[in-house]
Structure 1
């Protein structure tokens, strides 16, 4: 019997993590493959189905501030997420993150390097090869991180 080492991320995840790194400065940290139960706590009133899912769910990228408080989750989407089963898992994860008030963005590469970053209310598309509209995608990531940081400042000052 043997145990083999494998990479933590695949090539797509690696590209996305490299992109995310260009979006935030050194006061933020990017964590990969983090279990939801590591950064969220359950309320007893939560639905049993969500509770069961809670302990088995991971996020692809979690961005935290300097105090390791979650600012944003970025979930990397592929054609694998098009199945009904995967959509249901994504719905449960989105519900848990919404209850925790942690913003969630999805990222998906389409059409030869077009990166789509989207939530329920907004979408930004940029070309990772040419850099066209890259600043729009970076601004979206920064917006969520800065919102979280400014709310922390407000809570600390009270």
Structure 2
């Protein structure tokens, strides 16, 4: 009988080779000098959370929702294709999509995004931010995944939802729920 090594990791491949991830020289040192600097962080902003709850309330529980999702996973490059532009590569690797909606009932596409949302703020009026937003839009548009933007048109009463690809837009009041039907139609018309 083979002894079990709790520090060893195996792959699911039938001819897997044991890998030992235990780095004893690191763990033998007193590493508590830096751990006091860590704290539990917020996973999503309050603004994005309110939009997520709104989207989930309108589309329902038949969809899966993800926040701050890595752009490189949502929009992967084709196998064997490399980005020569280092700045573009860094942007692609470091960027996140605010909200991703996934439909688990889409057959072979059930693990892909059916809708992406970006939460905009006045910060997105800055020239550098607009340039990054356009780059992100171009990357997402190349995958043919629908992208909807949301921004307060009249804080905190009116939200504007729109698609950059065409002139569709809906203004929604989260307090009175005015135009909720139109917003649901807007979302479902874009969901793949």
Gaps of 5+ in 2: 1-35, 105-109
In the alignment, is residue 60 of structure 1 matched against residue 95 of structure 2?
A: no
In the alignment, is residue 115 of structure 1 matched against residue 159 of structure 2?
A: yes
Gaps of 5+ in 1: 149-158
Q: Which has the higher relative contact order, 1 or 2, with Cα contacts under 8 A spaced 6 or more apart?
A: 1
Residues of 1 paired with 2:69 and 2:180: CA distance?
26
In the alignment, is residue 105 of structure 1 matched against residue 148 of structure 2?
A: yes
Counterpart contact for 1:37–1:55, Cα < 8 Å: yes
**TM-score, normalising length: structure 1:** 0.85
Instruction: Please say which structure displays the higher CA radius of gyration.
Output: 2
Counterpart contact for 1:50–1:96, Cα < 8 Å: no
How many residues align? The count is 146
Q: Give 1:72 deviation, angstroms.
A: 0.8
Partner of 1:133: 179
**TM-score, normalising length: structure 2:** 0.71
Q: Given the alignment, which residue of 11, 22, 27 partners 2:57? A: 22
Secondary structure of the 1:4 match is: coil
Q: Give 1:109 deviation, angstroms.
A: 1.4
Q: Give 1:68 deviation, angstroms.
A: 2.4
Residues of 1 paired with 2:41 and 2:58: CA distance?
27
